[in-house]
Amino acid sequence: MPKNITKAKHRFPLRQIRHLPVTFRRYWPIILLLIITLSLAFLNYEPGTFLIGWDNLSSELAPAINLKRALFSVWEEYQSLGLLGGIGHAADLPRVFVLYLFSLIPGLPVSLFRYLSTFFPLVLGPIGTYLFLYHRLFKNKLDSRTSQSASFLGGLFYLLNLATMQTFFTPFESFVYFYGAFPFLLYFLTGYLESPRFFSLIVIFLLSFFSSPSFYIETIFVVFCLLLIPIFIDTLLSQKNKIASLKKIAASLFSITVPNLFWLLPVIFFVITNGQVGVQAKINLVTSPETYLRNLQFGNLLDIALLKGFFFNFLDLSGLGKFDYLLSVWRTHLAIPFIGIIGFLLFAIVIVGCYYSITKKFSWTKSLFGILVTCLFFLLGGGLIINTALPLAGELFRSPFTKFSTPLSFTYACFFSIGTVFLLDLFTFLHNRFTYPLTLFTVSLLLVVFMSPAFSGNFIDSNMRLTLPQEYLDLFSYLHTQDSATRIANFPQYTFWGWNYYDWGYRGSGFLWYGIKQPILDRAFDVWDRSSEKYYEEVSSAIFSNNQTEFEKIIDKYAINWVLLDKHVISPDGKTDLG
């Protein structure tokens, strides 16, 4: 007898399918943001290449070794002659631990590790912005459809703007992770301040710990705390019970600070005992004023309106062996009049949003204005006041664009979102069911067109997607079998700059020590220890005077066991004697 296929357990799941449109209507902004972000990541990925160069943390070259270093980071034995860690090395612990877990997965290419760890915060940033806008800024102020549409466009703006591009063009973990963490930190922090619950404090505590890679450059933690002040002031002034407000502020500060003490305390110890070393280092004496002046060149309203920074005038060695603008593709793109008009049109929506936020009295807009003013103060040159009064603090803020561009782009995204609410309100008189789709499509298209080079592989510099020569992997494997209590002197040492160029395309502060367990006397560490700088002065003097006897004395003096000659290192001008 044939089975009755009409029985409930055999029926086609019509009920589940009917729920799919409801689910999509609820979560379509997050789904679309994921699709766009993952597409952007895919279009900027080259299989088989390493994402390497500039100020990179290439911990994927030996995850186990670098995990141990992150755990015991107060004293950096592997750096030069051994030195106190001057930056938040331990802060990278969560990221390195994930890389270590990646290394345990059979068949997963090592070259893929850093791509994954870089694209992860890229995906998170727009989603965090959407959640902040939908659940905080527009909460109980707009209907669901308007809130979703405006929040989606705000998240898309946070992804597709020039500040984000400059953050990821030469990705450095600290800046990249701050991009992904900042919206979520504000989302959960403001949620606790609105409705204080113990569970929310636990979430903030855990999120603060896992966001710690953002603070590898400890200045970013200072920036983050500075930007919390407007939020706390807004909370204090907007509530009648000041004691309760102060308790909430104190509890949230506790949940943010305590999980970061594992890297913050060593940094404080370094500042107290060795703080002047970085300021007085030869490299910083030359580069700090120059870097700050480069930032000031773009400290004007027109460039800040478009979120342009000093990278637009930065020269780099091109694939043709000549120096050209690092962002030459983007300079050409923005030089098109139509693209420039789109850029300023998008900024006009931000300005409209600033005005509309006041008239509509959206939540947390006072805090956003406070963050905006703080960012503009430093980007327009306000740091000069601090530099004059406190030279050490001035050294921390020598490159304000890299520190404040992400919070600034976040405030732009929020006000841009409010500006699109104004557009939707403006067009509602049409009473047309296509008003929302057309507004969404038009504004999204403007963002995509303005940032179109990003979708053709120019979101990340092509010179950072490189094939690592097999010789380096063989070197790492060999040195893993050798005594870790030996020291390496790498050559050539033709310049005091901790920045080298290689014939296979690499340019940056170095990567060798991430793949080996032995200490190495590299110029990248000179800024943290005077003894390391003194070694360079002595060894370069011996090399360029052809004094072999003196060279051998230096080898003995600094207990050097290995001499590593890297023939891939080149002089960028092709003329300098490498020794």
What's the whole-number mean pLDDT along residues 434-447?
91
At residue 13, does pLDDT exceed 70? Answer: no
At residue 127, does pLDDT exceed 70? Answer: yes
Alpha-carbon separation of residue 9 from 2, 4, 15, 48 (angstroms): 16, 10, 13, 48
Q: What is the CA radius of gyration of the chain?
A: 26
Task: Say how far residue 84 (Cα) sits from the centre of its chain.
Answer: 24
What's the whole-number mean pLDDT along residues 111-116?
96
Render 454-467 in DSSP notation, one character per residue: GGGTTSS-GGGEEP
Structure tokens at 8: 């409930």
What's the whole-number mean pLDDT along residues 5-21?
51
Nearest CA-CA partner of 453 in 330, 328, 342: 330
At residue 158, does pLDDT exceed 50? Answer: yes
Nearest CA-CA partner of 269 in 88, 77, 525, 531: 88
Render 192-227 in DSSP notation, one character per residue: HHHS--HHHHHHHHHHHHHTGGGGSSTHHHHHHHHH
Strand order in the sheet with 500-502: 507-508, 500-502, 569-570
pLDDT digits (tens, 9 = 90+) for 169-222: 999 999 999 999 999 999 999 999 999 999 999 999 999 999 999 999 999 999
Q: Could you tell me which residues come within 8 angstroms of residue 529 by beta carbon, excluding any fewer than 6 positions away?
A: 79, 80, 81, 83, 84, 277
According to DSSP, the β-strands at 562-565 and 315-317 are unpaired
Alpha carbon distance 252, 212 (integer Å) = 16
Phi and psi (nearest 5°) for 74?
Answer: -65, -45
pLDDT digits (tens, 9 = 90+) for 506-515: 999 999 999 9
Phi and psi (nearest 5°) for 574?
Answer: 75, 5
Tell me if 224 sits within 8 A of 185, measured CB to CB: yes
With bands split at pLDDT 50, 70 and 90, how would you rate the model's confidence at 8? very low
| pLDDT given at position 445 | 97
pLDDT digits (tens, 9 = 90+) for 272-300: 888 777 777 777 777 777 888 888 889 89
Alpha carbon distance 51, 572 (integer Å) = 21
Tell me if 253 sits within 8 A of 397, measured CB to CB: no
Angle at 10 between CA 6 and CA 15, to 5 degrees: 90
SS3 annotation, 32-64: HHHHHHHHHHHHCCCCCCEECCECCCCHHHCHH
Alpha carbon distance 89, 75 (integer Å) = 10
Nearest CA-CA partner of 571 in 294, 284, 285, 323: 323
Structure tokens at 371: 């963050």
